[in-house]
Structure 1
Amino acid sequence: MSDSNTTHFTNPSTFILLGIPGLETAHVWISIPFCITYAIAILGNFTILFIVKREPSLHEPMYYFLCMLAVTDLVLSTSTLPKMLGIFWFNSREIDFSACLTQMYVIHSFLTIGTGIFVAMAVDRYVAICHPLRHSTILTNAVVAKIGLAVVGRGVVLSLPYLLLARQWPYCRTNIIPHAYCEHIAVVKLACADIRVNNYYGLIVAIFVTSLDLFCIAVSYTQILRAIFRLPTKDARLKTFGTCSSHLFVILASYTPALFSFLTYRFGQNVPLHFHVLIASMYLLVPSMLNPIIYGVRTKQIRDRLLRHMTPAD
């Protein structure tokens, strides 16, 4: 590893991931909750996909968007967690240069896709609650497909400069990344070049995407809350609010640690590195575990179908 610090090279064949810097002796213990989280995420998201596919009555916009979110969670967790466990369990720290950049691109693109899906789900809830009689005519399968393509296209296009910029820099200082996965800024900080364009682009995209998405979600839920308070009975208000509250909880659980990690890399020099890496790792894994649990438990249609499949027939 000392050779890696002193060797001069351009675009190394491999990078070295340190895992959680400063907590190397606790890697095995840290891996336990990470592994459990990943197992729940895999089981929960595949269950969502299975239930929606098997039940024609769930072939509606809300569940299509939920399936998109499940696929996004599976990609995000699977693109990072297996390599983390390799580091924690087997000290397998090497990652190919191209594989590292690919992982970085997949993470950024699917994080952006995930926030777009939250907007789509908020719009779906707005139409369902505020215009229930027109829901099926407004959100047709063709419209849902176009929304899905727009969400995916935005994530793919906005994240492409991360990959192109990172690939063009010469890496001649070190190939050691003080992180558990190939996070964008952690990688480009190793470049022997002025990476301000990376910082500026990342900051602009984060502000643009976050502000736009949160604004759309806030507008949708403001209209939803107004409609809820106009409902005639308390039971109807509570039932409708309960459905929306689970959506809002998922959104907060996803945005809060992601924004913390992003801002820490740029402005939080006093935050301990091991704490930052832990948070950055958790925000890729914890929402992937929570989403199917929350939607599975709080969505009666999915819960009923799951119980039906789990209960043996007489």
Structure 2
Amino acid sequence: MSQTTSAAFAKADAEGRAALVGYLPAGYPDVDGGIEALRAMVAAGCDVIEIGLPYSDPVMDGPTIQAAAQQALEGGVRIRDVLRTVEAVAATGTPTLVMTYWNPVEAYGVDRFAQHLLDAGGAGLITPDLTPDYAPEWIAAADERGLDKVFLVAPSSTDERIAMTTAACRGFVYATAVMGVTGARTSTSDLAGPLVARTKATTDLPVGVGLGVSNGAQAAEVAGYADGVIVGSAFVRALADHPGDRAAGLRALTALTEDLATGVAAGTPRGGAVRA
């Protein structure tokens, strides 16, 4: 049985560190290989897992994640494979969320998707292109089942918009601190700290930051002001750099996770259950 996402953040905070949140798309490099990779990330230090639902029009993803999702789609991945991946990872006891564009959920059936996600042991959804004011069906389905509702805030969000968004969240709030598409970057964004502060002024929920972190030093920097450090493209790249050599890919993934986990532990805690 998975612990809840909020419990994972609370456990990390009690240990004086931020949580490490790791992302891979389901079905990459294939379904079984993706499950093996995600389990390796858990074993090496990820506190929370995000599983991407590959989609044909990933307008908010950078080229690394787009290419991985396209490979998964070409390999025939379907929602049932995403749910099987959730079930396998959630069985480790690690909170496991699905990150998805809204169209596939709507096509599948919102209530049906919510129930099947719950049945698989999933913790909830991260919905990058769905805002709370357009999400009544998802909010109702999630509330009925106690699933996490993770909506996004951005540097361009007004204070009023941030407050509306955090009020609708459960689990944590996702602060996307880079304007534009996702992707690993060589430096962290100076927009992230102020966005976290503005978000924390509206909620007691943990705030996770995604801004292209690719190594432990960057993770430590973000962990100084955020409750969670969210990493996606760097994990995908670790696998992509070793095509056809699954063992080498898993070794690279494990080494990266350990480096990031060391980084989030090195970030400066900012006091108790609420970090500033």
**When the two structures are superposed, what TM-score results if normalisation uses the length of structure 2?**
0.28
The answer to which structure has the higher strand fraction is 2
The answer to which structure has the higher helix fraction is 1
Q: Which has the higher contact order (CA 8 A, sep 6+)?
A: 1
Q: Radius of gyration: which is bigger?
A: 1
